[in-house]
Amino acid sequence: MTDSAVAVIRAGALTTVQDLGRPGHAHLGVPRSGALDRPAALLANRLVGNGTSAAVLETTLTGCALRPRRTLTAAVTGAHCSVTVDGRPAAWGAPVRVPAGALLDIGHARAGVRSYVALSGGVAAEPVLGSRSTDLLSGLGPAPLADGTVLPLGVAGGPYARVDTAPQPRPPVELVLRVTLGPRADWCTHEALKTLTTRAYRVSPASNRIGLRTEGPPLERAIPGELPSEGLVSGAVQVPPDGRPVVFLADHPTTGGYPVVAVVREADLWAAAQAVPGTPVRFVL
């Protein structure tokens, strides 16, 4: 095994390898996947001098702990959390030097859900369909990390702009999702669409990388039954039988038979990655 690698000492609740995803394969039933909070992942790579396509680690709530086999630069962005190197406090949201053999510990999220860990050179897992992203729905890409996993690293350095620090948004106190109605808005009543765009919802604990589930007033259907399966996109707001809207995220299925009554602007989806259960949600037309 090459020394250009990092060992996973503590995998955390769910830590996956993510890059910008694998767009262009929906016709094969393959979702885009990729980092849920893309701006945070891009910033982490900039902080360590990686290119935009370098793979990072996406942690969920409980962080992770890593031991690199070579000295490297790391950066943690996204959900606010403690960062230590061999037990000594280190900076969050800034480049951190980690000596070979030292323990880099990314703690539990204090605010937000997902932290992003960039390592100089990037995680060099084997690409699948042009991406190193873990796709939890289709099973493509590296498996979620487990204790003892060893990840290869790419070559550090390159002609990439590096920053020392940068402002980052805090997790949303209220998740505001701008939507365009359609394509199946007519499958819900007029009152239901008014409910969607005027009433308050909350993030459900059942949310994951596939979709942000909501709790709140159910939407009444104008047309009963199910549609034939049709294509879905990230940000699609689907109405399942219980009437509570689901916003599809990076690992969403590429087809579905429940009506899509609206679509969320892509720029608003990044904040959904950091919205903890119970966060108020508003759909704004």
- Model confidence over 211-269: pLDDT tens digits? 999 999 999 999 988 899 999 999 999 999 999 999 999 999 999 999 999 999 999 99
CA angle 155, 133, 81 (to 5 degrees): 80
What is the C-alpha end-to-end distance of the chain, expressed in Å? 54
Task: Say how far apart CA 189 and CA 276 lie, in whole Å.
Answer: 30
In this predicted structure, the answer to whether residue 167 has a pLDDT above a threshold of 50 is: yes
Confidence of residue 174 (pLDDT cuts 50, 70, 90): very high
- Look at residue 166 in the predicted model and tell me its pLDDT: 76
Tell me whether strands 96-98 and 16-18 are parallel, antiparallel or unpaired: unpaired
Percentage of the chain beyond pLDDT 90 is 89
In this predicted structure, the answer to whether residue 5 has a pLDDT above a threshold of 90 is: yes
Confidence of residue 3 (pLDDT cuts 50, 70, 90): confident
Give the CA distances from residue 56 to residues 26, 220, 224, 279, in Å, rounded to whole numbers and listed in that order. Answer: 23, 41, 44, 26
Domains of the chain, start order: 5-152 (no CATH), 175-284 (2.40.100.10)
Tens-digit pLDDT profile for residues 61-81? 999 999 999 999 999 999 999
Confidence of residue 146 (pLDDT cuts 50, 70, 90): very high
- Residue whose C-alpha is closest to residue 37's, from 93, 92, 79, 94: 79
- Look at residue 165 in the predicted model and tell me its pLDDT: 73
- Look at residue 1 in the predicted model and tell me its pLDDT: 45
pTM of the entire predicted model? 0.95
Give the CA distances from residue 47 to residues 121, 127, 262, in Å, rounded to whole numbers and listed in that order. Answer: 12, 23, 36
- Look at residue 2 in the predicted model and tell me its pLDDT: 59
Confidence of residue 188 (pLDDT cuts 50, 70, 90): very high
In this predicted structure, the answer to whether residue 157 has a pLDDT above a threshold of 90 is: no
Confidence of residue 145 (pLDDT cuts 50, 70, 90): very high
